[in-house]
């Protein structure tokens, strides 16, 4: 049989979103791949130039539907750099709490989707069920389950409610039980190991040159995690290990994510302890009015007017659940950012897909692309 191109997408069970993986197959063997994205492009970077700083947060939630709050913080960190505002420490801790809960929920979601891609139906529901517990936590302090609109320039919208830390600890205890069970389901399954080991190999040097980041990079043995290597927020004060695995294949990526979930639980516990001990404000006192902060706390309206506000540029990079995300904000003294650029890790990971798909089989495509953890919302922005 001669070679043929197959469009896997834009609507296809493997894609987990709206993109098109064109693969050229020779029988079952993949000989070429050409990913196409852009089906979900909403022009978020352009819209940012027409929104006030705090209004952009709404857009950031929409970039990625499984890690909305990560993008909020990414943007807010860059915007705070550009506007030269420092959030209070408690706000930083609440942010890190959100980050790690989000990483946990995103990875659990990944796990659920991944095992389902491979054909294992049962843990899919286990994963989705446990993810709901985290979404409940999010709901209890941000009021939303997916699009939080929680972060503000200079802090976060509100503090965690009374009794939240205990509830959160209970969920973390539950995850302590569940995570080993997740691993058991996969590691005890010979077929799972056969399907993932040695599949979708992208060696460390190629990862670095291709700009691939996140669990894919760490699975290849490159020990890089921006939370530790380029500390932001309060991560330097927290104790955690970076999950690295020395198998640049789907199995390595699975192991890295499993380990990261455990580390996230560990970080969340530390943050909860800190939050219990250190009450305080969660919004900076001096926030320029033009960023559009709604309903300031009474008696604290020491707002700076826009006129003559210093210009600046802000660059932030953070370890998002999918990889290294970056934001670049240029503040030209106007109420809106002059330019907002977002770097999505998924964008780059998809771009490199030819390098880790060619030579494998059509049946491997879900296993490989699933292990990349694709969120098209954030790659297309």
Partner 1 sequence: MVETLYSVAHTLVVLLLGLLGPLVPGSGAYGPFLAVWLSYLVVGALVFAVSLVNVLVFIWWERKLLGRFMDRRGAMHVGYAGLLQNLADGLKLFRKQPFSPREADDLGYYFGPTAYLVISIAILGFLPISFGFSGGAVPLSLLVALALFSFAPLFIFIASWSSNNKYSLIGGMRTAAQLVAYEIPLLLSVVAVVALTGSFDLNVIVGDQAANGWFAVPLILGLIIFFIAMLAEVERIPFDLPEAEAELVEGWSTEYGGMLFAFTMLGDYVRALIGSYLIVLLFLGGWSMPWGLSSFPLSGIVFFQLKTYAVFAIFIWVRASLPRVRTDQLLQIGWKRMLPLAMVNIIWALALVVWGYPVIHWPAL
Partner 2 sequence: MTDLTLATLLPALESRFGPDVKVLPSRKEVLGVVQVKGERLVEVARFLHDQGTFTHCALVSGVDWIEHIEVLYHLWSDALKGYLELTVETAPEEPHVPSVTSVWRGANWHERETWDMLGVRFDGHPDLRRVLMPEGYRFHPLRKSFELHEPEELEVKARHV
Which residues lie near partner 2 (CB under 8 A)?
A: 37-38, 41, 43, 45-47, 49-50, 81, 208-213, 222, 224, 229-230, 313-317, 324, 326, 328, 330, 338-339, 341, 343, 347-348, 350-352, 380-381
Query: At closest approach, how far in Å is the CB of 111 from partner 1?
Result: 13
> Are 262 and 179 in contact, with CB atoms under 8 Å apart?
yes
Find the binding residues for partner 1 in span 150-179 (CB under 8 A). none
Residue 229 touches which of partner 1, partner 2, none (Cβ within 5-8 Å per kind)? partner 2
Q: Which of 58, 139, 140, 189 binds partner 1 (CB under 8 A)?
A: 189
Find the binding residues for partner 1 in span 85-124 (CB under 8 A). 115-122, 124
CA 358/CA 29 separation, integer angstroms: 8
Query: At closest approach, how far in Å is the CB of 48 from partner 1?
Result: 35
Q: How many CB atoms lie within 10 A of CB 129?
A: 12
For the sheet containing 3-8, what is the strand order?
Answer: 3-8, 20-26, 29-36
Residue 62 touches which of partner 1, partner 2, none (Cβ within 5-8 Å per kind)? none
Verify binding: residue 129, partner 1, rule CB under 8 A: yes
HSE (CB half, 13 Å, CA atoms) of 357? 26
CA 357/CA 374 separation, integer angstroms: 15
Query: At closest approach, how far in Å is the CB of 176 from partner 1?
Result: 19
Q: Which of 42, 84, 125, 176 binds partner 1 (CB under 8 A)?
A: 125
Chain centroid offset of residue 116 CA: 20
Place of tokens 């907002």: 340
Q: Which is nearer to partner 1, 125 or 334 (CB)?
A: 125
Strands 20-26 and 312-320: unpaired
> For the purposes of burial, counting CB atoms within 10 Å of the CB of 361, is it exposed (0-12), middle (13-18) or buried (19 or more)?
middle
Closest by Cα among 312, 332, 185 to 258: 185
Query: At closest approach, how far in Å is the CB of 78 from partner 2?
Result: 8
Q: Which is nearer to partner 1, 128 or 144 (CB)?
A: 128
For partner 1, the binding residues (CB under 8 A) are 4, 6, 8, 12-14, 25, 27-28, 115-122, 124-126, 129, 189, 191-192, 194-195, 361-366, 370
């Amino acid at each position: 049989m001669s070679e043929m191109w197959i469009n896997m997408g834009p609507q296809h069970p493997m894609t987990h979103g709206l993109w098109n993986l064109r693969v050229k197959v020779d029988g079952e063997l993949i000989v070429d791949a050409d990913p196409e994205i852009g089906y979900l492009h909403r022009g978020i970077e352009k819209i940012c130039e027409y929104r006030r700083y705090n209004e952009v947060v709404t857009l950031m939630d929409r970039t990625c539907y499984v890690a909305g709050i990560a993008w909020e913080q990414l943007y807010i960190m860059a915007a705070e750099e550009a506007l030269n505002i420092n959030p209070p420490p408690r706000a930083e801790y609440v942010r890190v709490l959100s980050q790690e809960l989000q990483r946990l929920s995103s990875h659990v979601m990944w796990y659920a989707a991944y095992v389902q891609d491979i054909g294992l139906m049962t843990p899919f529901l286990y994963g989705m069920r446990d993810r709901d517990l985290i979404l409940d936590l999010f709901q209890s302090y941000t009021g939303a389950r997916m699009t939080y609109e929680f972060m503000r320039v200079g802090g976060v919208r509100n503090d965690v409610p009374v009794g939240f830390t205990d509830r959160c600890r209970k969920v973390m205890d539950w995850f302590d039980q569940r995570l080993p069970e997740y691993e058991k389901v996969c590691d005890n399954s010979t077929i799972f190991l056969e399907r993932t080991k040695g599949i979708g190999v992208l060696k460390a040097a190629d990862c670095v040159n291709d700009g691939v980041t996140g669990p894919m990079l760490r699975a290849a043995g490159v020990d890089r995690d921006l939370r530790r290597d380029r500390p932001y927020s309060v991560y330097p004060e927290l104790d955690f290990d970076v999950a690295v695995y020395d198998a640049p294949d789907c199995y390595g990526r699975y192991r890295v994510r499993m380990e990261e979930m455990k580390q996230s639980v560990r970080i969340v516990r530390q943050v909860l302890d800190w939050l219990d001990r250190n009450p305080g404000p969660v919004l900076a006192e001096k926030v320029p009015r033009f960023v559009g902060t709604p309903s300031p706390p009474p008696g604290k309206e020491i707002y700076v007017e826009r006129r003559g506000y210093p210009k600046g540029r802000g660059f932030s990079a953070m370890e998002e659940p999918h990889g290294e995300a970056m934001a670049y904000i240029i503040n030209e003294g106007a109420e809106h950012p002059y330019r907002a650029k977002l770097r999505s890790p998924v964008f780059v990971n998809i771009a490199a897909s030819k390098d880790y798909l060619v030579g494998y089989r059509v049946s491997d495509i879900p296993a490989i692309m699933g292990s990349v953890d694709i969120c098209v919302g954030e790659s297309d922005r």
